[in-house]
Amino acid sequence: MKENTVTLEDWDWCIDDESRLVPWFHVLPEVEKKYTVRADANTRVFRVQDSQKRTYFVKHISPNGLKEHLIAFFSTKAKLLYESAELLRSAGIPCAEYPGWAKNGTESMTLSVEIPDTLTALEYWFRTITHNTALRREFVANLAKLVASYSYASIVQRDLTLKHILIKNNGSALFIINPCEVERIDGPLSRDEQLALLKPFTELRGEISPETLSIALLENGFAENSQDASELIHEVIDSVEEEIEENDWPEISNRLLTEESWALSRILYDGDNVIHLRNTIWHSEIPVPDDSNSLAEYVSAEEAEQIWLDSFKAQLLRRHCPRVPLSWERRADGKNIVRYAATYDGILACGFNQ
């Protein structure tokens, strides 16, 4: 890609075509505020159009805290994302197009071309094809083909998950988005590098048999033989579950109790009342449950916290949870209310097939 370097309003852009920035970049604060589609403590993603009606997503990365600022000073995340996408596309791996990136001090942003009529593979799996066995098998085969393309190109992506994969609404094509930890390796991938690419498969566990996953890897050339395929799947699943249980769970449980907005849950405040809300299993927000659409149970504060945390641990480890709470209300009067879906359809609407 031919690149141009241009400085606009204190931002240094590296971009193939400056017209992609017109007119939205010149009214950046207003556009960012109005068209944000996702935000967290460090990142805001918003949707824009240029004067030629081309649609993009802008990822604006603003370090929050001294550590993050130091990291950003020496390593620009937007540049890494841009270069990772270029590496994937040059290897023939389907990836969103990133025509430019920019830096302003420790802040940075990327520009990616919208891929229309798509959703995340996570939502496609848990929402669109929940009860369609044929489409599920087709998706697993396409996913195996995708990770095999990394192996053929001797490329590893350590942050690959179903959230980082878009799929056409009709299931016809997969695309990588937000690739950061991408690296080309000299020679064939090591065992650890192979396992890193199989993280998306671990998100399917409990929903489809390891044997089906193994067959897909074998048929698409990712594994040498059936034994190798089976060992890869079981090893990566065991590794992920062990990492969650032995290392990650203390941090996850703390975030579930304190973080206002992230992939698994969010926290709302109503005066002195605190409402913990579960997201769908594909990480979208659900409406606040109330007496009209949920079953409320009054429990002690200790019981409520335990029910809340245990349900997420079961979700992450793909273990059976008899009842998945949708919310936990901590009221100013000391009462604790745990709410559950009132109907089976309400359960399925969140992706939990109990």
Place of tokens 């980082």: 164
2 pLDDT higher than 60: no
pLDDT in tens, 160-178: 999 999 999 999 999 999 9
What's the confidence (pLDDT) of residue 74? 57
114-131 b/e with 16+ CB inside 10 Å = b?
Answer: ebeebebbbbbbbbbbee
What's the confidence (pLDDT) of residue 40? 82
Are 62 and 79 in contact by the 8 Å Cβ rule? The answer is: no
323 pLDDT higher than 60: yes
What's the confidence (pLDDT) of residue 64? 77
- What residue ranges define each of the domains in the chain, with the CATH number in brackets? 4-113 (3.30.200.20), 118-241 (1.10.510), 259-348 (no CATH)
Q: DSSP assignment of 161-202, as one string? A: -GGGEEEETTS--EEE-S--SEEE-SSSPPHHHHHHHTHHHH
Average pLDDT over every residue of 29-40: 94
What's the confidence (pLDDT) of residue 181? 83
Q: DSSP assignment of 232-265, as one string? A: HHHHHHHHHHHHIIIIIHHHHHHHHHH-SB-SSE
229-260 b/e with 16+ CB inside 10 Å = b?
Answer: bbebbeebbeebbeeeeeeebeebbeebeebe
What's the confidence (pLDDT) of residue 65? 72
325 pLDDT higher than 80: yes
88 pLDDT higher than 60: yes
Residue 259 pLDDT level (bands cut at 50, 70, 90): very high
What's the confidence (pLDDT) of residue 281? 96
Cross-strand bridge partners of residue 59: 45, 110
Percentage of the residues of the chain whose pLDDT score is greater than 90: 90
73-82, 130-139, 252-261: the lowest-pLDDT one: 73-82
Q: Of 340 and 1, which is predicted with more confidence?
A: 340
Does pTM surpass 0.85?
yes
What's the confidence (pLDDT) of residue 4? 85
pLDDT in tens, 108-149: 999 999 999 999 999 999 999 998 999 999 999 999 999 999
What's the confidence (pLDDT) of residue 1? 53
Length of the chain: 354
pLDDT in tens, 44-67: 999 999 999 999 999 999 977 766
41 pLDDT higher than 90: no
Average pLDDT over every residue of 198-224: 96
